[in-house]
């Protein structure tokens, strides 16, 4: 299928700078788990897909996309402030270095960041995410308080507002998840001094959720229209939540997503066993009414029985391969999750990688290294021989659940998001069209996506974002402030 515009149609990039398109035509598009040719897509006034036609001619008023169209993925787990720490913990001065020593260094960065710096960091991160294949991000937010640990009394959600404003400035969709954080560990009744910014009991978390829902904040000077905002709840982890606090939080929950870190580290599993007699996932299954609202982040150290229990509950799992590798967490039982049909999504977590393709590639490669077989995630017996296509499809579906969407992707009624593949990226040169996703995931590096649409509005076009220079300059300034005098 030729990718040149038909006579009378508008070529991608010729429309007015901020003109939302109403009609798009893609030479190829990923719909229903496979590539379809000649796809016409109409954006409704509500920012959702109003009509999708396969095998259609390009209408005269349609914007013709400059490459194949993919639905955007959900980044289902992010701590945006940790973008300021990416690459800053890759040196070792002690005899051993692990998750817990990394955490000590990360805390010191968390104690320095103010609300304006948080916004600057988040905006740069979100722009990188959009270019890397994400059109929605689930922000697991626990940097709540001022640097001295006190509430921002004039605005309890001041730190969260910076994240929302950054999402609006970039144009990415946001699911914001204020997190319960009450204690330092199972046997510690209070927080450590260096955890003071994280403190939030159940009532505080619910109050933050309600405040954010009541008046979604955005700066009209940088966002002509607010980007989509969902607000749910998070529990940092079982070790940081008291049973009473967890129960109180869940009693005030609703249909929105609930995310929790669980079973990321062996020590966490051992500590939970010592304190409760149960493994973390086992404890959750016995003491909470898990359902499809729940997302278990990492779940790295899980037993077959726990995986079966999660499958029965309808809850999902968020895997963060780049962070789990960087922090030496371990390797998840991907085949177990896939076999049981548990909803899966991916997240960037500590931000050492901001590319959806890299997360999917690392997820598969970790399995190959440990199992010493290839194409682990493929399922030829289910007519899914492509590893990349199966992982993409599962991440697409699981990410929608993680972010709180009933519909997602290129389907009528779903939000009008899409990614336009840059066919000039070296990874795709000479590759048959049917192998596009295989090449995007497993032939690296690739160029960022050519164009990105979120809720029917362009965020990037022909690799350009009008706010990129402003966002980058603020990020550099914030990094200089945070790291001044702190680098050897």
* Domain extents in the chain: 10-71+409-470, 73-403
Say how many C-beta atoms besides its own lie within 10 A of residue 424's C-beta: 11
Whether 486 has a pLDDT exceeding 60, the answer reads: yes
Topology (CATH level 3) of domain 10-71+409-470: Urease, subunit C; domain 1 (2.30.40)
Cα–Cα distance between 320 and 359 in angstroms, integer? 7
Whether 7 has a pLDDT exceeding 60, the answer reads: no
Per-residue pLDDT reduced to its tens digit, 128-174: 999 999 999 999 999 999 999 999 988 999 999 999 999 999 999 99
Q: How far is CA 408 from the centre of its chain?
A: 14
Cα–Cα distance between 362 and 359 in angstroms, integer? 5
Q: What is the pLDDT of residue 485?
A: 83
Run of H or E including 399: helix 387-403
6-22 b/e with 16+ CB inside 10 Å = b? eeebbebeeeeeeebbb
Asked if residue 386 lies in contact with residue 34, where contact means CB atoms within 8 angstroms, the answer is no
Comparing CA positions, the residue from 232, 118, 231, 249 lying closest to residue 180 is 249
Whether 480 has a pLDDT exceeding 90, the answer reads: yes
Cα–Cα distance between 29 and 451 in angstroms, integer? 14
439-465 b/e with 16+ CB inside 10 Å = b? bbbbbeebebbbbbbbbbbbbbbeeeb
The DSSP 8-state label assigned to residue 427 in this structure reads G
The DSSP 8-state label assigned to residue 196 in this structure reads G
Which region among 166-180, 216-230, 448-462 has the lowest average model confidence (pLDDT)? 216-230
The DSSP 8-state label assigned to residue 45 in this structure reads T
Q: What is the pLDDT of residue 4?
A: 28
Q: What is the pLDDT of residue 260?
A: 98
Q: What is the pLDDT of residue 82?
A: 98
Q: Which of 168, 298, 301, 333 is catalytic?
A: 298
Distance spanning both ends of the chain, measured CA to CA: 55
Whether 8 has a pLDDT exceeding 60, the answer reads: no
Q: Which two tokens stand for residue 116?
A: 């304006």
Q: What is the pLDDT of residue 10?
A: 55
Whether 202 has a pLDDT exceeding 70, the answer reads: yes
Q: Which of 329, 333, 349, 417 is catalytic?
A: 349
- The whole-chain average pLDDT of the chain stands at 93
Rg (CA), the chain: 22
Cα–Cα distance between 451 and 445 in angstroms, integer? 18
Per-residue pLDDT reduced to its tens digit, 422-441: 999 999 999 999 999 999 99
Whether 1 has a pLDDT exceeding 80, the answer reads: no
Q: Phi and psi at residue 135, in whole multiples of 5°? A: -115, 0
Strand-pair partners of 294? 258
C-alpha distances in Å from residue 256, one per residue of 213, 231, 233, 252, 292: 12, 7, 7, 11, 10
Q: What is the pLDDT of residue 21?
A: 82
Per-residue pLDDT reduced to its tens digit, 14-53: 444 446 789 999 999 999 999 999 999 999 999 999 999 9
Cα–Cα distance between 111 and 349 in angstroms, integer? 18
Which class is domain 73-403?
Answer: alpha beta
User: Is there a catalytic annotation at residue 298?
Assistant: yes
Whether 76 has a pLDDT exceeding 50, the answer reads: yes
Cα–Cα distance between 355 and 346 in angstroms, integer? 10
Query: Under DSSP, is residue 373 helix (H, G, I), strand (E, B) or coil?
Result: coil
Confidence of residue 305 (pLDDT cuts 50, 70, 90): very high
Percentage of residues in the chain having pLDDT higher than 70: 93
Per-residue pLDDT reduced to its tens digit, 281-296: 999 999 999 999 999 9
Per-residue pLDDT reduced to its tens digit, 106-139: 999 999 999 999 999 999 999 999 999 999 999 9
Q: Which two tokens stand for residue 120?
A: 């600057």
The DSSP 8-state label assigned to residue 300 in this structure reads -
Q: How far is CA 439 from the centre of its chain?
A: 22
User: Is there a catalytic annotation at residue 151?
Assistant: no
């Amino acid at each position: 299928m030729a990718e040149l515009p038909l006579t009378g149609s508008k070529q991608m990039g010729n429309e007015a700078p901020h003109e939302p398109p109403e009609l798009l035509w893609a030479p190829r598009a990923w719909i229903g788990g496979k590539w379809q040719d000649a796809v016409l897509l109409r954006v409704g006034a509500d920012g959702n897909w109003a009509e999708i036609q396969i095998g259609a001619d390009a209408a005269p008023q349609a914007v013709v996309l400059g490459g194949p169209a993919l639905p955007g993925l959900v980044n289902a787990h992010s701590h945006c402030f940790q973008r300021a720490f990416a690459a800053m913990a890759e040196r070792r001065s002690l005899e051993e270095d692990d998750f817990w020593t990394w955490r000590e260094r990360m805390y010191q960065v968390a104690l320095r960041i103010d609300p304006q710096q948080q916004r600057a960091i988040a905006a740069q991160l979100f722009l990188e995410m959009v270019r890397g294949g994400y059109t929605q991000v689930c922000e697991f937010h626990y940097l709540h308080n001022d640097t001295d640990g006190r509430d921002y009394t004039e605005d309890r959600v001041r730190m969260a507002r910076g994240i929302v404003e950054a999402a609006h400035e970039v144009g990415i969709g946001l699911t914001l998840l204020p997190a319960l954080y009450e204690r330092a560990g199972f046997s510690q009744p209070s927080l450590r001094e260096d955890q003071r910014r994280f403190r939030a009991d159940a009532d505080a978390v619910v109050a933050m959720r309600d405040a954010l829902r009541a008046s979604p904040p955005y700066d009209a000077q940088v966002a002509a229209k607010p980007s989509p905002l969902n607000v749910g709840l998070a529990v940092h982890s079982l070790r940081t939540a008291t049973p009473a606090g967890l129960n109180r939080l869940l009693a005030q929950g609703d249909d929105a997503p609930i995310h929790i870190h669980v079973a990321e580290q062996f020590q966490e599993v051992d500590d939970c066993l010592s304190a409760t007699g149960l493994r973390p996932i086992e404890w959750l299954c016995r003491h909470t009414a898990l359902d499809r609202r729940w997302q278990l982040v990492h779940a790295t150290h899980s037993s077959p029985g726990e995986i079966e229990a999660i499958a029965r509950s309808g809850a999902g799992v968020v895997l963060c391969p780049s962070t789990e590798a960087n922090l030496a967490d371990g390797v998840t039982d991907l085949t177990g999750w896939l076999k049981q049909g548990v909803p899966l999504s991916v997240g960037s977590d500590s931000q050492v990688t901001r590319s959806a393709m890299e997360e999917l590639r690392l997820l598969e490669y970790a399995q190959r290294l440990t199992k010493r077989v290839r194409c682990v995630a493929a399922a030829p017996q289910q007519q899914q021989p492509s590893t990349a296509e199966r992982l993409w499809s599962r991440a697409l579906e699981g990410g929608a659940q993680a972010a709180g969407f009933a519909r997602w992707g290129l389907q009528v009624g779903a939000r009008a998001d899409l990614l336009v593949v840059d066919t000039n990226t070296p990874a795709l040169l000479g590759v048959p069209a049917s192998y596009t996703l295989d090449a995007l995931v497993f032939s690296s590096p690739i160029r960022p996506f050519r164009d990105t649409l979120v809720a029917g509005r362009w965020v990037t076009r022909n690799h350009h974002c009008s706010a990129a220079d402003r966002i980058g300059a603020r990020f550099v300034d914030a990094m200089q402030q945070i790291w001044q005098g702190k680098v050897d």
